[in-house]
Amino acid sequence: MNKIDLKSLFEGLQKQMISQLSTNRDFITHPGSKGDSLENAWIEWLQKYLPNRYSVDKAIVIDSNGNTSQQIDIVIYDNWFTPFIFSQNGFHYIPAEGVYAIFEVKPDVSGSSEGVNNIEYAAEKIESVRKLKRTTTSIISVGQKQSPRGLTKIVGGILTSTKSGSKTSNETLKKHLKAQSGLKSIDFGCIADYGSFFVDYKGEENPDITDIENRYMDFYSKRIIKEIHFSKSENSLVTFFLQLTRYLQQSIGTVAAIDLQAYSNAIDEEIDREI
């Protein structure tokens, strides 16, 4: 039986993305252009390798009350069961119910934006999505009506090209990650030339809380960090991608069904629930 060297394939994938990000960082000098270029590079990479059930775009997330998130550099969202994605004036507006994951993109994880470190800046973006109202409703599965399911978790992280400062110590980075809690907590991220990381949390959703939205908020308010794990630098992008895929497929699954009447209320219309 012939075999293929998976390690060599992963190394090739790693080199392709590193090359793209390095070119953008080194030769584009205008701050706005460099930021857009980096975001586009990450978006194109994720679009290429993620299964087609996931869409990837820069977007603003909205809810049925008309509330909006901050502008999010990368949103991974459902395009199979979420029935409408608004595009207007160059922006995508995605219902909160369809969101799987969100990321802030920065050149340097050790840098700062608008007076705060980039970890905190990313955490504020993540919070602006997680705090939006998400509806859930019953669905038909295998011919049977199923009760509304709980809200899925929205994973959040940061993607950067490099880590300035000490290349041997993670303590400052860990300190910034540990400072984010509740809806601001960060799940994982990738520093292309340094390594990927994930934050291992302790805490489970409380099934005794019957209000679905309160149960979701309770989960985030009570989970605490157990440890933060970093990959080897030479495996940064591969380990990030494997971690992302595991979250999407084995931890989140499919987003809950959206209650379309909640959105119809915005135009004072009623839609029929039954045939």
pLDDT tens by residue, 182-205: 999 999 999 998 999 999 999 999
**Two structure tokens written together for 262:** 């909640």
pLDDT tens by residue, 229-269: 999 999 999 899 999 999 999 999 989 889 999 999 999 99
Model confidence band, residue 20 (pLDDT cutoffs 50, 70, 90): low
Supply the angle between the helices 236-246 and 6-27 in degrees, to the nearest 10: 110
How many CA atoms lie within 13 Å of 197's alpha carbon, on the beta-carbon side? 23
pLDDT for 158 equals: 98
- Cα torsion 267, 260, 255, 43: sign: negative
pLDDT for 109 equals: 94
pLDDT for 35 equals: 63
State mean pLDDT over 40-45. Answer: 89
The structure tokens 């809690």 sit at: 181
3-state secondary structure of 88: strand
pLDDT tens by residue, 206-235: 989 989 999 999 999 999 999 999 999 999
CB atoms within 10 A of CB 261: 15
**Two structure tokens written together for 67:** 């509330």
Euclidean distance between CA atoms 74 and 154, whole angstroms: 13
pLDDT for 164 equals: 87
Euclidean distance between CA atoms 178 and 172, whole angstroms: 10
The structure tokens 């802030």 sit at: 104
- Within the chain, what is the greatest distance between any pair of CA atoms? 64
Residues that are catalytic: 73, 104, 106
pLDDT tens by residue, 135-172: 998 888 778 888 888 899 999 999 998 898 766 578 99
Euclidean distance between CA atoms 116 and 130, whole angstroms: 20
pLDDT tens by residue, 61-109: 999 999 999 999 999 999 888 888 888 877 899 999 999 999 999 999 9
pLDDT for 160 equals: 93
**In the predicted model, is pLDDT for residue 29 greater than 70?**
no
pLDDT for 34 equals: 58
C-alpha angle 92-131-273 in degrees, rounded to nearest 5 = 70
pLDDT for 95 equals: 96
3-state secondary structure of 262: helix
State mean pLDDT over 29-43. Answer: 72
pLDDT for 130 equals: 98
